[in-house]
Amino acid sequence: MTVVVHNPKNEQSMEDMYVVLSQEPDGTEGIAAKITNFGTFPLVFGHESNLEAIRPFLKEIAEEEGKDLIIAKYRRTEILERITVVN
């Protein structure tokens, strides 16, 4: 069974990845996620415009969880594997 959650047309090449990290008081970090009735959504974005759209909600999420949030930008891509569609 295949479940497609979101399959948009690609807008442009992705050079950066924006990730919202939650930080524990001891300095450890993890990828922040928003849990909803529809599932868990990691806060990872391929384009800055998507991040800007949720920026107003990040303070609410931080206060709800009682943890600092960090917005990080990752630049270097290392392709680990390419899965090719065979027709």
Mean pLDDT by 10 residues, the chain (87 residues): 59 82 90 89 87 86 86 88 88
Quote the pLDDT of residue 20: 95
pLDDT at 40: 92
DSSP string, 10-54: P-S----EEEEEEE-TTS-EEE-EEEETTEEEE-EESSHHHHHHH
